[in-house]
């Protein structure tokens, strides 16, 4: 028996051929061979994720009359317009041609012959010219799942009769739909359990007809231009598990969604994302008990008032809570400490005050991401406090943590990937145990403190902001391992006490932004700094640099260049104005 080949237990005929490619190293190339015709009894064919290159869609496919399952997703390039030959495969139940490059379909009439079709995925195929797509699919009563995301579809003319008697899943995201009347028409498909319409251009108020989709489990309408308030019929979505209305302009209060204890979906909702909208007012004092809710994302709205005291009891299964960039005030309720399943907490950019004690944090042992920057909060823990969690992200910008560098960070250092301790009143030298583990950071922001010392080797940090401190120079190890390309793309060392000449080892970085202004650097611009082809922004203002600018002529991607308040001389190079 060979992997990927299935035979009939009685006749021994090959009925299944699975050549799906697991990796680029094992991909199949060339043309799809008509030798497949020898497998006359084939029912299942999967050639997905290969690199076939056919001048036209294979003409022999119609002769594989017994095929019930055909998967060609991302199988390569098939030039030649319509794959109309597939219309002869009248026994097909499953058809997946997602991501077939080269297809430019202007007519889908051939689909109407596949009366047994249950599953259809044509995502990432250009259907912009196929104006009859809806009329054709409406003739296929057996369809249960349809995926047409990123097909360049735009508005359609509503058709009078809905024939989707079995449709459960419809994904039309990443298209160009505008009219809310399209949503109105879709609300006639009352069998829907999953409706994905994100990344379109739908405008206006969400129609009240949405409440007629009482079987919906998933409703995804993110990244559109919807506005107004949610219709009262929203309360009829009794089976809803996942709701995503993020990145719209929807407003109004949240009492009906979060505070209505008699709502029929209080025991079904698992995920709510209403972020990046215009919801306003206070959160309900008494949250409805939602024992299944694991994620609540309300960031970037206009919400005010305190976080409800009942949050710990009402949302006991919560794993993600994101309310950053609002106007929330008050203190962090003690009941948050009861959210023992919490993995991500982001309350940044609000007006939440008070103190955070080790008692409040003691039960949050699963926490991976804690972001609370830009709030008037203080940390009140003992000098030998050991955090009960292992974080990947910690953002406490603007908390008064200094003047000593926080010793409790040492127990977190092994897992941290993102750390923001900007403007925290630290006036100290960074301990060696911290720099020794800095290679694991993706983002490190220690700006706007009074940290002293020298800049070490930056290893694999991607984003480093040490601006507005008291660093006095580059350490001898800054240029070590010159032959190794590091991952640093953003470096801000401006407004420090850096002096002397710039190191000449910049080619080991793939920098896009470099800010060294407002220091006391001297000498010429080193040649290696002019050999960073990825550099978009360079600021060296307010130093004591001199010489000419010829070393920068290879920085062809520059969009911002600030050399003011230095001692450069000579004629401005002719290429300077052409590239900025």
pLDDT, one tens digit per residue, over 51-65 is 888 777 888 888 899
Confidence at residue 257, expressed as pLDDT on a 0 to 100 scale: 86
Share of the chain above pLDDT 90, in %: 69
**Structural element, H or E, at residue 171:** strand 169-171
Q: Quote the CA–CA distance of 147 and 123 in Å, as a whole number.
A: 6
Q: Which of 432, 396, 439 lies closest to 414 in space, CA to CA?
A: 439
- 579 confidence band (pLDDT: 50, 70, 90): low
pLDDT at 468: 98
Cα–Cα distance, 96 to 516 (Å, whole number): 53
Per-domain residue ranges for the chain? 1-132, 399-580
At 483 the pLDDT is 56
d(CA 519, CA 99): 52
CA distances from 42 to 36, 86, 358 (A): 9, 15, 64
The reply to whether 1-132 and 399-580 are identical in fold is: yes
Q: What's the pLDDT at 8?
A: 84
Displacement of CA 313 from its chain's centroid (Å): 30
CATH architecture of the region 399-580:
Alpha-Beta Horseshoe (3.80)
Q: Is the pLDDT of residue 158 over 80?
A: no
The whole-angstrom separation of Cα 146 and Cα 192 is 11
Banded model confidence at residue 578, pLDDT cuts 50, 70, 90: low
* 493 has pLDDT over 90: yes
Both tokens of 106, joined, read: 């202007």
pLDDT band for 481, please (50, 70, 90 cuts).
low
Kindly report the pTM of this predicted structure. Answer: 0.92
Among left, alpha and beta (phi > 0; psi -120 to 50; other), residue 444 is beta
What confidence score (pLDDT) does residue 93 get?
98
Contact in structure between 490 and 511 (CB atoms under 8 Å): yes
pLDDT in tens, 428-457: 999 999 988 887 899 999 999 999 998 887
What does the alpha-carbon distance between residue 429 and residue 446 come to, in Å, rounded to a whole number? 12
DSSP lists the bridge partners of residue 296 as: 272, 321
Cα torsion angle, 87, 88, 90, 91, sign: negative
In the block, tokens 């009925």 appear at: 15
> What pLDDT does 485 receive?
62
Q: How confident is the model at residue 510 (pLDDT cuts 50, 70, 90)?
A: confident
Q: What is the pLDDT of residue 477?
A: 65
For tokens 């799942």, the residue is 145
* Per-residue exposure over 296-305, b if at least 16 CB sit within 10 Å of its own CB, e if not: bbbbbbebbe
Domain at 1-132: CATH architecture: Alpha-Beta Horseshoe (3.80)
Specify the range with the lowest mean pLDDT, choosing from 172-176, 475-479, 505-509, 564-568: 475-479
Rounded to whole angstroms, the Cα distance separating 223 from 256 reads: 22
Cα-based distances in Å from 244 to 219, 274, 399, 402: 6, 6, 32, 40
Distance separating alpha carbons of residues 346 and 324, to the nearest angstrom: 6
Residues 515-561 have pLDDT tens digits of 999 999 999 999 899 888 899 999 999 999 999 888 888 888 889 99
| C-alpha pair distances (Å), 298 with each of 272, 282, 302, 320 | 8, 12, 10, 11
d(CA 302, CA 576): 44
Q: How far apart are the first and last CA of the chain?
A: 64
Query: Residue 580: its pLDDT value, please?
Result: 64
3-state helix, strand, coil in the chain (%, to 5): 15, 25, 60
């Amino acid at each position: 028996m060979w992997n990927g080949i299935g035979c009939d237990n009685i006749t021994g005929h090959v009925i299944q051929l699975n050549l799906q490619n697991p990796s680029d190293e094992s991909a199949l190339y060339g043309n799809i061979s008509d030798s497949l015709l020898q497998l006359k009894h084939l029912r299942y064919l999967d050639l997905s994720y290969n690199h076939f290159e056919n001048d036209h869609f294979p003409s022999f496919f119609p002769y594989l009359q017994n095929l019930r399952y055909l998967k060609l997703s991302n199988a390569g390039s098939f030039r030649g317009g319509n794959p109309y030959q597939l219309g002869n495969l009248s026994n097909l139940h499953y058809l997946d041609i997602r991501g077939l490059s080269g297809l430019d379909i202007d007519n889908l009439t051939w689909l109407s012959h596949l009366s047994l079709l249950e599953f259809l995925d044509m995502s990432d195929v250009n259907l912009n010219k196929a104006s009859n797509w809806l009329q054709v699919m409406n003739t296929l009563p057996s369809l249960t799942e349809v995926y047409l995301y990123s097909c360049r579809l735009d508005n359609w003319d509503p058709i009078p009769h809905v024939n989707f008697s079995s449709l459960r899943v419809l994904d039309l995201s990443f298209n160009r739909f505008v009219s809310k009347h399209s949503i109105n028409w879709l609300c006639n498909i009352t069998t829907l359990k999953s409706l994905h319409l994100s990344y379109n251009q739908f405008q206006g108020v969400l129609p009240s007809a949405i409440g007629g989709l009482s079987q919906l489990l998933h409703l995804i309408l993110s990244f559109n231009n919807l506005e107004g308030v949610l219709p009262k019929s929203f309360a009829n979505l009794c089976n809803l598990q996942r709701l995503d209305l993020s990145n719209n302009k929807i407003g109004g209060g949240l009492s009906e969604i979060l505070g209505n204890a008699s709502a029929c979906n209080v025991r079904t909702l698992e995920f709510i994302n209403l972020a990046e909208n215009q919801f306003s007012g206070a959160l309900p004092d008494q949250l409805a008990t939602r024992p299944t809710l694991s994620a609540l994302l309300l960031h970037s709205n206009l919400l005010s008032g305190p976080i409800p005291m009942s949050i710990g009891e009402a949302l006991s299964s919560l794993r993600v809570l994101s309310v950053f960039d609002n106007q929330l005030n008050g203190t962090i309720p003690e009941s948050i400490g009861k959210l023992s399943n919490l993995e991500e907490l982001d309350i940044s950019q609000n007006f939440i005050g008070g103190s955070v004690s080790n008692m409040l944090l003691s039960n949050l042992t699963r926490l991976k991401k804690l972001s609370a920057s830009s709030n008037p909060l203080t940390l009140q823990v003992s000098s030998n406090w050991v955090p009960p969690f292992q974080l990947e992200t910690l953002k406490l910008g603007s908390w008064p943590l200094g003047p000593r560098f926080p010793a409790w960070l040492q127990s977190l250092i092994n897992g941290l990937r993102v750390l923001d301790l900007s403007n925290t009143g630290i006036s100290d030298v960074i301990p060696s145990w911290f720099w020794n583990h800095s290679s694991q950071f993706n983002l490190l922001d220690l700006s706007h403190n009074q940290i002293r010392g020298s800049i070490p080797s930056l290893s694999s940090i991607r984003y480093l902001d040490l601006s507005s401190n008291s660093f006095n120079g580059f350490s001898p190890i800054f240029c070590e391992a010159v032959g190794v390309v590091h991952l640093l793309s953003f470096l801000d060392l401006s407004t420090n006490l850096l002096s002397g000449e710039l190191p000449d080892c910049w080619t080991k970085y793939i920098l896009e932004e470099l800010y060294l202004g407002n220091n006391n650097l001297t000498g010429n611009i080193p040649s290696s700094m002019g050999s960073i082809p990825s550099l978009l922004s360079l600021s060296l203002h307010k130093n004591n640099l001199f010489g000419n600018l010829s070393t920068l002529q290879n920085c062809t991607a520059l969009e911002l260049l600030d050399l003011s308040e230095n001692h450069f001389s000579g004629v401005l190079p002719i290429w300077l104005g052409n590239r900025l």
